[in-house]
Amino acid sequence: MRSFIVMILLVVVVVSCTKDPFRGEDYEAGLLEIEPGDEMFYWLLRSRSRPNKDPLVVWLSGGPGCSSLVALFYENGPWTINEDLSLKTNPYSWNEAANVLYVDQPLGTGFSTTTNPDHYATNEDELAETFYKFIIKFLEKHPEYKKRAFYITGESYAGHMIPAISSHFIKKNNTDINLKSVAIGNGWVKPVLQYPAYREYAHENKLIGEIDNKVLYAGFWACKQLINFNFKTLAYKQCQHMLMYSIGGGTDKSNFNFYDIRKKCDHPPLCYDMSGVDKLLAKPEIQELLGVNPKSTVDPSSPFNPESVGKDATWKSCRLDIQALMLGDWTNDSSVQVRDTLENGVGVFVYNGDQDYACNWRGSEDWTSEVFWEHKDCGNGYKCGVQNWMMDEPYQKWVVDGKEAGEFKKVDNFSFLKVYQAGHMVPMDQPRNSLVMFKLFLNRAF
């Protein structure tokens, strides 16, 4: 009888374990209501090291409208997805050093949803306010993170979102939010400088010839003028037209990988086969584990009709309709909020994979060199005045395990790192080095 009971218990344990492929990690996932009808999805991965002491780090993917779960499974999360949809442990997950909170935002992204059509973000100010409400609700649910060291990280269009959020948090001056620093990976921050950088990057990497170089010089000059005169719609059309010319003019670049110039784009539009996360998150048992409604996301068929958003659709990694709602901010200069963030004592760390075309390192070098802010570390506690301090700062070698892994420059609480042999998604291409980078960021070495 006793052996029979033991056998039954073993069966129960095996069944319960097989239902949760995420076992082995201390996690929490679900929808958090921030206002009636507005629910934001989050996935908290507690630290593998010191969960009760390590900082809280938010990760935001770009788009806008791309789910942060893509990064969780393909970049810096605790698992990677095998072909059979089983999971493999990632030893270089960022929760090795922090409690990492992946959030689907703005509303309508991933599993986040709203029943209020007018609550979909159409600009970064609205996005930042909604995210602030989410963090407040999250801290109410998890008071252990109040006043804990807090960091915001992300990539791509998060270069627009993160400065808006950090600036907004600083204005709110909520003492429960102990914002220490932000990190922007391969970010879209200052289009007036980053658009022309496509020509420079393409030319120096021999992606274009001399004729195309001249055409692009003129075309991006027009792009800059339209941005400077705030003709947003015309600027977007002109700038995007020249961008597409830069990857298609003169030669056949039908398989051009926008996110890594070393590779072919075998799975457009993202170029990588990331179907695993779509298949995994489509499973009813996984959705049940995550506490989500499989029909809580966005209908991609009507990109300009906010009333169609959120109607009976399955989870998708990126939502073009959410992106379309925010196109008015595409050419905005978010380095203004970077300056505000720096001048309020919050660190800003910018990093770029050197093989990325989409948000290439040349563009990031250009905009970081043009941020004028009050540098406060001139010795003896004296402020140095307002200047673009990064402009003339020399690069230093970044060495990991005895090998040169990149180069960086740092002035006070502002730093820029170029990561060698990495594309748009640095943690995916350089997992070990990105974890080293992440730990240095948390320690304010970057």
Structure-model confidence comparison of residues 178 and 392, the more confident one = 178
Cα–Cα distance measured from residue 201 to residue 361, given in angstroms and rounded to the nearest whole number:
8
55 has a pLDDT exceeding 80: yes
156 is catalytic: yes
User: Closest Cα to residue 197, out of 421, 58, 366, 311?
Assistant: 366
273 — pLDDT class (breaks 50, 70, 90): confident
Cα–Cα distance measured from residue 109 to residue 132, given in angstroms and rounded to the nearest whole number:
16
| 15: Cβ contacts below 8 Å, ≥ 6 apart | none
Rounded average pLDDT over 299-314 = 41
| 227: Cβ contacts below 8 Å, ≥ 6 apart | 191, 192, 195, 235, 239, 331
**Segment 215-226, tens digit of pLDDT:** 999 999 999 999
| pLDDT confidence of residue 293 | 63
For the chain, how long is the longest CA-to-CA vector?
A: 85
298 — pLDDT class (breaks 50, 70, 90): very low
The half-sphere exposure of 44 on its side-chain side, counting CA atoms within 13 A, is 17
What would the two tokens of residue 62 be?
A: 């770009």
- Contact indicator for 348, 329 with CB cutoff of 8 Å: no
| pLDDT confidence of residue 271 | 86
CA 211 from centroid of its chain's CA atoms? 35
Please provide the average confidence, as pLDDT, over all residues in the chain. Answer: 89
3-class secondary structure per residue, 189-207: CCHHHHHHHHHHHHHHCCC
Rounded average pLDDT over 387-398 = 93
**CATH-assigned architecture of domain 27-190+329-442:** 3-Layer(aba) Sandwich (3.40)
How do beta strands 99-103 and 38-45 pair? antiparallel
| pLDDT confidence of residue 313 | 44
302 — pLDDT class (breaks 50, 70, 90): very low
Q: Please pick, among 356, 364, 375, 434, the residue that the annotation labels catalytic.
A: 356
Rounded average pLDDT over 97-109 = 97
Q: Please pick, among 212, 375, 424, 429, the residue that the annotation labels catalytic.
A: 424
Q: Is the peptide bond before 269 cis (omega within 30 degrees of 0)?
A: yes
* Distances, alpha carbon 119 to alpha carbons 37, 62, 112, 253, 325, in Å: 9, 19, 12, 40, 11
User: What are the extents of the domains in the chain?
Assistant: 27-190+329-442, 193-248
Buried b (16+ CB within 10 A) or exposed e, 111-142: bbbbeeeebbbbebebbbebbbebbebbbeee
| pLDDT confidence of residue 19 | 78
Query: What is the percentage of the chain residues whose pLDDT exceeds 70?
Result: 88
Query: What is the percentage of the chain residues whose pLDDT exceeds 90?
Result: 74
382 — pLDDT class (breaks 50, 70, 90): low
**Segment 128-182, tens digit of pLDDT:** 999 999 999 999 999 999 999 999 999 999 999 999 999 999 999 999 999 999 9
363 — pLDDT class (breaks 50, 70, 90): very high
**Segment 57-88, tens digit of pLDDT:** 999 999 999 999 999 999 999 999 999 999 99
337 has a pLDDT exceeding 50: yes
| pLDDT confidence of residue 427 | 98
11 has a pLDDT exceeding 50: no
Q: Please pick, among 156, 167, 181, 317, the residue that the annotation labels catalytic.
A: 156
Rounded average pLDDT over 82-105 = 97
Residue that is written with structure tokens 């960091």 in the block: 151
267 is catalytic: no
Q: Is the four-CA dihedral 116, 118, 122, 128 of positive or negative sign?
A: negative
Cα–Cα distance measured from residue 342 to residue 152, given in angstroms and rounded to the nearest whole number:
14
- Contact indicator for 331, 239 with CB cutoff of 8 Å: yes
Cα–Cα distance measured from residue 345 to residue 384, given in angstroms and rounded to the nearest whole number:
14
| pLDDT confidence of residue 59 | 98
424 is catalytic: yes
